[in-house]
């Protein structure tokens, strides 16, 4: 077997969970990966899958700009990749997608593939929540039982959850700056909210799990997932280091809670096809 094919087989096998994680480590469901156009020249799909596998990532939510990047990885590992549809045809859509009716038409057309488990990651502010494009995308998510992955602040996520009570939401980065008390309050109030922790180094500064984050993890062990966020190509180079840091604070939780946050919540919400 050519070396390249052997590498692909190893990567896909690890992403499907057929190999055990390193001793003392949890398998990982990564809830925030992108494989966007700038990544394609630097990393083949096989190489990207290998990086995830070597970091202990068994399965991953992937969204990309454009969506073709997600499809490349999904086609190589349909059981390991959980495809989300990002509403950005190009990076230029990021700032104004919520005011462009063509974006809603694009999303609706792409969803006809029938493979997506969510829409996002998407960015918007509180002032855009009630717009017709956002409304249509929320309707599409509700109709198809899809998650909406929203990169928004705490004010905006609360407004989204109140305005659109039917779809489930995955809150990217826990709002990036929202503290554990705010996150906990929103989880208490909204049963259709889940939270992923990509880039949240404040969870365990210096490697020590923050007591307030620990308390909210223990209160809502079924509502959190971890993530990396490969938003630029250089982030792929530190996926393994990022997951080592996550493993360190996971070990400071009760094992049943750590398992849920590491991978069981993701597996429950997005069972392999």
Q: What's the token pair of residue 31?
A: 């809830």
Q: Are 121 and 152 in contact (CB under 8 A)?
A: no
Q: Give domain status of residue 239, yes or no.
A: yes
Q: Where are the alpha helices (DSSP H) in the chain?
A: 3-15, 37-42, 45-54, 68-76, 101-111, 132-144, 154-163, 180-189, 211-219, 239-250, 255-259, 265-269
**For position 273, what pLDDT does the model report?**
86
| Among the listed residues 62, 65, 63, the one whose alpha carbon sits nearest the alpha carbon of residue 81 | 62
Is 117 domain-assigned?
A: yes
Nearest to residue 32, comparing CAs of 176, 208, 211, 139? 176
What's the pTM value of the predicted model, to 2 decimals? 0.92
Give me the CATH number covering residue 37: 3.20.20.140
Given a contact cutoff of 8 angstroms between Cβ atoms, the answer to whether 59 and 18 are in contact is no
Task: Give, in order, the Cα–Cα distances in Å from 32 to each of 113, 134, 188, 267.
Answer: 21, 21, 23, 14
With beta carbons less than 8 A apart as the criterion, state whether 130 and 102 touch.
Answer: no
2, part of any domain: no
Euclidean distance between CA atoms 204 and 196, whole angstroms: 15
Position 24 scores a pLDDT of 72
Structural domain for 264, as ranges: 28-84+97-269
Domain count, the chain: 1
Q: Determine, yes or no, domain membership for 151.
A: yes
Whether 14 is in a domain gets the answer no
Determine the pLDDT at residue 135: 98
Q: Could you list the pLDDT tens digit for every one of the 273 residues in the chain? A: 344 444 444 444 445 444 445 557 999 999 999 999 999 999 999 999 999 999 999 999 999 999 999 999 999 999 999 999 999 999 999 999 999 999 999 999 999 999 999 999 999 999 999 999 999 999 999 999 999 999 999 999 999 999 999 999 999 999 999 999 999 999 999 999 999 999 999 999 999 999 999 999 999 999 999 999 999 999 999 999 999 999 999 999 999 999 999 999 999 999 998
Residue 63's nearest CA partner among 175, 227, 238, 245 is: 227
Confidence (pLDDT) at 23: 57
In a domain, residue 11? The reply is no
Residue 9 maps to a domain: no
Q: Is residue 7 part of a domain?
A: no
């Amino acid at each position: 077997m050519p070396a390249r094919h052997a590498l692909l087989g190893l990567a896909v096998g690890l992403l499907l969970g057929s190999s055990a994680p390193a001793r003392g480590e949890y398998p990982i469901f990564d809830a925030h990966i992108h494989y966007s156009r700038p990544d394609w020249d630097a990393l083949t799909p096989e190489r990207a899958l290998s990086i995830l596998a070597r970091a202990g990532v068994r399965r991953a939510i992937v969204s990309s700009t454009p969506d073709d990047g997600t499809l490349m990885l999904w086609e190589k590992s349909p059981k390991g990749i959980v495809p989300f549809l990002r509403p950005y045809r190009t990076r230029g859509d990021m700032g104004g997608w919520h005011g462009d009716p063509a974006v809603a038409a694009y999303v609706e057309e792409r969803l006809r593939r029938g493979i997506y488990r969510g829409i996002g990651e998407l960015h918007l502010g509180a002032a855009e929540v009630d717009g017709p494009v956002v409304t249509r995308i929320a309707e599409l998510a509700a109709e198809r039982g899809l998650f909406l992955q929203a990169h928004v602040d705490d004010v905006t996520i609360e407004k989204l959850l109140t305005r659109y009570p039917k779809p489930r939401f995955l809150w990217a980065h826990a709002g990036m700056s929202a503290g554990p008390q705010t996150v906990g309050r929103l989880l208490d109030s909204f049963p259709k909210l889940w939270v992923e922790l990509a880039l949240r180094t404040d969870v365990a500064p210096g490697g020590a799990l923050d007591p307030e984050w620990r308390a909210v993890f223990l209160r809502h062990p079924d509502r959190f997932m971890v993530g990396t966020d490969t938003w630029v190509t250089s982030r792929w180079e530190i996926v393994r280091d990022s997951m080592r840091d996550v493993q360190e604070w996971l070990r400071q939780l009760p094992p049943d809670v750590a398992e849920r946050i590491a991978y069981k919540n993701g597996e429950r919400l997005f069972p392999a096809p």
